[in-house]
């Protein structure tokens, strides 16, 4: 019924990836699109700039009128109009004439360049030009930044502030993005209680509730949380309810690889358990199922194990469902001391970086939340390594780089 061998991490990723379906797309206001994932190629409806415009505050004129003139020997032109950024001049600039122009305003007909204000002196309607310009100088030409029909952004990109500017400039105030996956989270355990100052008997504070909500948000998904006693019938009911309302289900607790693992038993009854046990440490008792064609990630109840499992095995798949090809960016650091490991298992060791060095934390259990707070990264020791020697380079995953 259950798989008994521990599955290597890479194989688990492949299996999960192959069973995922992308979320549908939705059209949203461009104003709301920061950090959403683009579901369309954006083709510009417009040239940008939309007209030849002045790149400086100054005077639009014919460059040839300035040739050979200088501070000692200024040219004298007649100012025939003055325009701000929002205005089109009706004047036509002829030989010996100039239009005062603000940055961003359209170049008037007849002018081919702009002389900066700094190189001129205005005397009533006359302008003394103390420098020469070349044709095209200080002009931003139509379509210089974007041409109508250009694809300015491609599908699958996570939208940054500057991307919103180019979509706006391409003529759009709406944009098509992938819907954020709705993620139901069931934290199981009869011992779990909400935080309070007076703990009784075997009660344990349900800290996973808070961490997972934040982790789901950091993966650009929408969490819905519920807490449930670890009794089969109750868990089964919550599974059904949460699967109906959500695209993904995540559970914590009840995954230990022994008899009586309520959560995995329920998943097995309702669907297909495809992974039960992964060769990572901490976090071995990870399980994955498909129920009603929806992915179910079953994490440990222990906070540290649950966080490692989320970071290693869940986060990038929530992003993939939105068509973001997310590669967790490992960096190289020098190990500040020897780190033993075991062949055939990928270790994620909580660690602290200082400059180019990384130091593993000294910790015992997988339940030690303080170690997550005091560390800033995982040292990753792949399954084909027996550890890392002091001074050797090793792979490091910074927590910050794991949060989108």
CB of 302 to a second copy, least distance (A): 7
Q: Which is nearer to a second copy, 15 or 88 (CB)?
A: 88
Residue from 10, 15, 84, 292 that binds a second copy (CB under 8 A)? Answer: 84
Residue from 17, 26, 27, 51 that binds a second copy (CB under 8 A)? Answer: 51
Counting residues that bind a second copy (by CB under 8 A) gives 90
Q: Is residue 68 a contact point for a second copy (CB under 8 A)? A: no
- Counting beta carbons within 10 angstroms of the beta carbon of residue 387, is it exposed (0 to 12), middle (13 to 18) or buried (19 or more)? middle
Strands 53-54 and 139-140: antiparallel
Q: Is residue 315 a contact point for a second copy (CB under 8 A)? A: no
Q: Which is nearer to a second copy, 18 or 173 (CB)?
A: 173
CB of 331 to a second copy, least distance (A): 10
Residue from 72, 123, 196, 327 that binds a second copy (CB under 8 A)? Answer: 196
Q: Is residue 258 a contact point for a second copy (CB under 8 A)? A: yes
Range 262-291, binding a second copy (CB under 8 A): none
Q: Is residue 149 a contact point for a second copy (CB under 8 A)? A: no
Residue 312, number of CB atoms within 10 A of its CB: 23
CB of 335 to a second copy, least distance (A): 20
Q: How far apart are alpha carbons 248 and 54 in whole angstroms?
A: 53
Q: Which is nearer to a second copy, 53 or 317 (CB)?
A: 53
Q: Is residue 172 a contact point for a second copy (CB under 8 A)? A: yes
Between the alpha carbon of residue 301 and those of residues 109, 166, 206, 279, the distances in Å are: 73, 45, 9, 17
Part in contact with a second copy (CB under 8 A); list of ranges 25-33, 61-69, 73-81, 337-345: 25-33
Q: How far apart are alpha carbons 285 and 295 in whole angstroms?
A: 17
CB of 32 to a second copy, least distance (A): 9
- As separate numbers, helices (DSSP H) first and strands (DSSP E) second, the chain gives 9, 28
Q: Is residue 167 a contact point for a second copy (CB under 8 A)? A: yes
CB of 247 to a second copy, least distance (A): 21
Part in contact with a second copy (CB under 8 A); list of ranges 61-69, 178-186, 190-198, 385-393: 190-198
Q: Is residue 57 a contact point for a second copy (CB under 8 A)? A: yes
Q: Which is nearer to a second copy, 10 or 370 (CB)?
A: 370
| Strands across the sheet containing 75-83 | 113-116, 58-61, 97-101, 75-83, 126-129, 120-123
Secondary structure letter of residue 403 according to DSSP: -
Binding mask 112-131 for a second copy (x = CB under 8 A): -----x--------------
The answer to whether the CB of 268 falls within 8 A of the CB of 289 is: yes
CB of 288 to a second copy, least distance (A): 20
Type and span of the H or E element at 239: helix 232-245
Q: Is residue 211 a contact point for a second copy (CB under 8 A)? A: yes
Between the alpha carbon of residue 335 and those of residues 306, 331, 332, 352, 387, the distances in Å are: 25, 12, 9, 10, 11
Part in contact with a second copy (CB under 8 A); list of ranges 140-148, 236-244, 270-278, 383-391: 140-148
CB of 207 to a second copy, least distance (A): 4
The answer to whether the CB of 5 falls within 8 A of the CB of 277 is: yes
Q: How far apart are alpha carbons 261 and 258 in whole angstroms?
A: 7
Q: How far apart are alpha carbons 296 and 243 in whole angstroms?
A: 9
Q: Is residue 343 a contact point for a second copy (CB under 8 A)? A: no
CB of 281 to a second copy, least distance (A): 14
CB of 371 to a second copy, least distance (A): 8
CB of 145 to a second copy, least distance (A): 5
Q: Is residue 210 a contact point for a second copy (CB under 8 A)? A: yes
Q: How far apart are alpha carbons 91 and 354 in whole angstroms?
A: 64
DSSP letter string, 21-85: ----EEEEEGGG-TT-BB-S-EE-SS-BSSS-EESSSEEEE-GGGGTT--SSS-EEEEEEEEE-T
CB of 35 to a second copy, least distance (A): 8
Part in contact with a second copy (CB under 8 A); list of ranges 70-78, 169-177, 234-242, 380-388: 169-177
**What are 20's two structure tokens?**
């995922």
Angle at 312 between CA 325 and CA 194, to 5 degrees: 120
Q: Is residue 69 a contact point for a second copy (CB under 8 A)? A: no
Nearest to 107 by CA among 81, 132, 125: 81
């Amino acid at each position: 019924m259950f798989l008994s061998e521990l599955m290597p991490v890479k194989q688990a990723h492949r299996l999960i990836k192959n069973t995922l379906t992308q979320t549908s797309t939705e059209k949203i206001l461009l104003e709301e699109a920061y950090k959403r994932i683009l579901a369309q190629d954006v083709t510009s409806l417009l040239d940008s700039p939309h007209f030849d415009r002045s790149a400086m505050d100054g005077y639009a004129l014919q460059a040839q009128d300035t040739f050979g003139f200088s501070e000692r020997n200024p040219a004298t032109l007649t100012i025939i109009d003055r325009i701000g950024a929002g205005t089109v001049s009706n004047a036509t600039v002829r030989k010996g004439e100039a239009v005062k122009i603000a940055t961003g305003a359209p170049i008037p007909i007849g002018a081919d360049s702009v002389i900066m204000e700094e190189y001129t002196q205005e005397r009533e309607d006359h302008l003394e030009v103390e420098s020469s310009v070349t044709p095209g100088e200080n002009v931003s030409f139509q379509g210089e930044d974007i041409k109508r029909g250009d694809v300015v952004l491609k599908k699958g990109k996570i939208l940054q502030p500057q991307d919103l500017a180019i979509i706006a400039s391409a003529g759009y105030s709406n944009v098509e993005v992938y819907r954020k996956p709705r993620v139901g989270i069931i934290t199981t355990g009869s011992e779990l209680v909400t935080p309070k100052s007076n703990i009784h008997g075997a009660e344990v504070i349900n800290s996973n509730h808070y961490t997972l909500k934040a982790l789901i948000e950091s993966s650009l998904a929408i969490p819905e949380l519920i807490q449930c006693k670890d009794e089969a019938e109750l868990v089964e009911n919550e599974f059904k309810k949460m699967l109906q309302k959500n695209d993904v289900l995540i559970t914590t607790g009840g995954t230990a690889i022994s008899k009586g693992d309520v959560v995995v038993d329920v998943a097995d009854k309702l669907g297909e358990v495809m992974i039960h046990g992964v060769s990572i440490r901490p976090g071995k008792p990870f399980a994955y199922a498909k129920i009603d064609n929806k992915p179910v990630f079953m994490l440990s109840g222990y906070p540290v194990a649950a966080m490692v499992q989320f970071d290693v095995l869940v986060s990038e798949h929530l992003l993939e469902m939105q068509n973001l090809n997310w590669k967790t960016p490992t960096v190289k650091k020098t190990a500040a001391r020897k780190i033993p490991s075991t062949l055939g298992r990928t270790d994620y060791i909580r660690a602290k970086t200082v400059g180019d060095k990384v130091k593993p934390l000294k910790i015992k259990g997988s339940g030690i939340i303080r170690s997550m707070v005091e560390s800033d990264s995982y040292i990753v020791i792949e399954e084909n390594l027996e550890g890392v020697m002091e001074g050797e380079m090793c792979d490091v995953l910074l927590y910050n780089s794991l949060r989108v």
